[in-house]
A and B are shown apart, each in its own frame.
Chain A
Amino acid sequence: EVQLVQSGAEVKKTGESLRISCKGSGYTFTRSKISWVRQMPGKGLEWIGRIDPSDYNSNYSPSLQGHGTISVDKSIDTAYLQWSSLEASDSATYYCARHNAYYYDTDGYYDYFDRWGQGTLVTVSS
């Protein structure tokens, strides 16, 4: 069974650093990109960025650039989202999600998030 299991809830102070994790299992980890999605309290979903575990290439949303750095450790099938200096506005639930693709021709495909982690609640206070 494909699973993404995220690390537990965190309570931090502004200015502190943090790294949260997302461990994949039940599939070949390097075959699928991983995205991170933010959901602020009572709000909608916002895409932060993605990483390709096969080559470490990452892309970020222009709107949320600077709101976390994405990395991966292929040896343990785990993706990370980290902050060097948290702000109160980073308080949110963060989800990792696995990419899948439906190919309609040799080079073209539709991209979607077919599995999600359970979410990690990050609370930042002063």
Chain B
Amino acid sequence: DIQMTQSPSSLSASVGDRVTITCRASQSISSYLNWYQQKPGKAPKLLIYAASSLQSGVPSRFSGSGSGTEFTLTISSLQPEDFATYYCQQSYSAYTFGQGTKLEIK
């Protein structure tokens, strides 16, 4: 199985901050990496697919980068609605999610 490790596990930030979340794969997964946002009591929502492609309707302050084993999700200027938990997911071999990064208000 391919293991996905996110860092940090939790993060405190303020509205307007630039935030970066990292996801590392246990082996190379090319660009087979997706990012999801989940708010409490809600289903996950797709933000980024294929490492850097922005899903339709997702604000442009979200961006993704990386390939191989290291990937990042960046939020350029945090908005109040962005406080949530973020998950990376590899789709190179079956599907595995990272453990999640909880983004909280400072």
Main secondary structure of the interface of A (DSSP, over half): strand
**Complex partner residue of A112 from B49, B87, B96, B97, CB under 8 angstroms:** B49
B34 within 8 A of partner (CB): yes
CB of A119 within 8 A of CB of B55, answer no
Q: Contacts A47-B94, A63-B1: A110 and B31 contacting too (C-beta < 8 A)?
A: yes
Indicate if the CB atoms of A112 and B94 lie closer than 8 Å.
Answer: no
Could you say which interface size class chain B belongs to? 20 to 34
Does A62 lie at the interface of the complex (its beta carbon under 8 Å from any beta carbon of B)? Answer: yes
**Residue B44 at the A interface, CB < 8 A?**
yes
Main secondary structure of the interface of B (DSSP, over half): loop
User: Does B10 lie at the interface of the complex (its beta carbon under 8 Å from any beta carbon of A)?
Assistant: no
* B97 x A46 contact (CB < 8 A): yes
Q: Which residues from chain B contact A37 at a C-beta distance below 8 Å?
A: 44
Would you mind naming 14 contact pairs between A and B with Cβ atoms under 8 Å apart?
A: A35-B95, A44-B99, A44-B100, A45-B89, A47-B94, A47-B95, A95-B44, A100-B49, A102-B50, A110-B32, A112-B89, A113-B44, A113-B89, A116-B44
The chain A residues found within 8 Å of chain B, CB to CB, are 35, 37, 44-47, 50, 59, 61-63, 95, 97, 100, 102, 104, 110-114, 116-119
